[in-house]
Amino acid sequence: MRLADKSLCIVGASGLVGSNIVKAALDRGYTVRGTLRDAKAPDKAPYLMALPGAAERLTLHSADMAHEADFDEPLANTDAVFIASLIPVYAGPSGKPAREMDDEQGYAEIIMPTVNGCLNILRAAARQGVKTAIICSSTSSTNPVPPVPIKNEVDHWSDEAEQCRAKKYTSATKTVMEKAAIAFAAEHGMRLCILLPTGMFGPVILPGHLEHNPHKWLRALIAGGPPRHEKIPNDSTSMIHLHDLAALFMAAYENEAASGRYYGVYDSWHWQDIYAELKKILPDMKMPAPLIEPLALAPATGFDFTRRNSLNVPLRDIPTFLRETIEWLRSAPF
């Protein structure tokens, strides 16, 4: 079967991750059905339809994950569903920050809309006979208490009750959602893969994505503006290039033996090392105040990448994708 004869449904096609999955799928020759809340949105649809291969093999569909029936048409006769619409929610409908909520409100306004939205999509997929689902989640679901030196995707879970006690309802959302999706997939005989990224660098598909980090603070640095932090934090962050993340999604789909959770990160670096690397690329950049601590530097998050590496996707290292991202931003891409 030609790849063009296989249809993939990508939910959240206009998102940072979803749009890059759309691009990767088109580049590989698949026919793609992308969903977004408004398939004719003038700030989104034209950029997706301008991707190579889109005119021939991409259709866009309006769908809201709060409405299960919206997904029947885009999922009909598709080979797999990619769910990249479960973006972090930091405030409720009234604008009240998640950190100011109690558990009842946190569950009602932050956690359950995402969990129910994911299950709505999976229910529609099951109804249409789709047997493979690939979900974009987050490393925030893999933070056990107490922390471990090296964490993996099989043994290490965040405790959603502990996350709620810490008012981290946004992070708890991912933990609760993944457990619900795993239970649903097991009940319905669906092959499920969950990718777990954090910081995402590299080219974006829609101009609106430039208004979010890390692209927002990198643009500020390039323009001579302030760094992201006033003082280098004694902390680390994990990162990956968006094209590499999309390639991991495609590999999880194409490898029929793949299932379960996979880290979608290259590695984690301490912020001191990140700023040092950026200074090599942007010698004139404004630097945050140096980290002067009586204690040792906090170790960077340790990952066991055995499962990620089993997908056999080559990944750019951090110096490479920092430089590539800055060069791309300097090119005034839009």
* Nearest C-alpha neighbor of 263 from the set 98, 172, 151: 151
Q: What is the pTM of this model?
A: 0.96
User: Whose structure tokens read 């033996």?
Assistant: 257
Question: Above 60 in pLDDT, residue 1?
Answer: no
What is the spatial order of strands in the sheet that 7-11 belongs to? 58-62, 31-36, 7-11, 80-83, 132-136, 191-196, 260-263
Bridge-based pairing state of the strands 302-303 and 150-151: parallel
User: Whose structure tokens read 């999976």?
Assistant: 122
* Nearest C-alpha neighbor of 323 from the set 211, 222, 205: 222
Instruction: Report the pLDDT averaged over residues 46-74.
Output: 97
What pLDDT was estimated at residue 295?
Answer: 67
Q: What is the mean pLDDT of the chain?
A: 95
Rounded CA gap, 45 and 173, in Å? 28
> How many CB atoms lie under 10 A from the CB of residue 57?
18
Task: Give the up-direction half-sphere exposure of residue 116: CA atoms within 13 A in the CB hemisphere.
Answer: 11
Question: Above 60 in pLDDT, residue 139?
Answer: yes
What pLDDT was estimated at residue 71?
Answer: 98
Instruction: Report the pLDDT averaged over residues 90-107.
Output: 90
Instruction: Report the pLDDT averaged over residues 127-155.
Output: 96
Question: pLDDT-based confidence at 87, cuts 50/70/90?
Answer: confident
Question: Above 80 in pLDDT, residue 294?
Answer: no
What is the torsional sign of CA 136, 141, 143, 148? negative
Residue with the bigger pLDDT between 1 and 148: it is: 148
Question: pLDDT-based confidence at 57, cuts 50/70/90?
Answer: very high
User: Of the given ranges (38-42, 76-80, 96-100), which has the lowest mean pLDDT?
Assistant: 96-100
At 211-256, the pLDDT tens digits run 999 999 999 999 999 999 999 999 999 999 999 999 999 999 999 9
Rounded CA gap, 182 and 178, in Å? 6
Question: Above 90 in pLDDT, residue 194?
Answer: yes
At 105-122, the pLDDT tens digits run 989 999 999 999 999 999
Rounded CA gap, 277 and 49, in Å? 36
Question: Above 60 in pLDDT, residue 329?
Answer: yes
Residue range 3-200+240-267+302-316 forms a domain whose CATH class is alpha beta
Q: Parse the chain into domains and list their residue ranges.
A: 3-200+240-267+302-316
Q: Note whether 303 and 267 are within 8 A (CB).
A: yes
What pLDDT was estimated at residue 2?
Answer: 64
Peptide bond before 214: cis, by omega within 30 degrees of 0?
A: yes
Instruction: Report the pLDDT averaged over residues 299-319.
Output: 97
> Helix, strand, or coil here: 81?
strand
Question: pLDDT-based confidence at 5, cuts 50/70/90?
Answer: confident
What pLDDT was estimated at residue 106?
Answer: 87
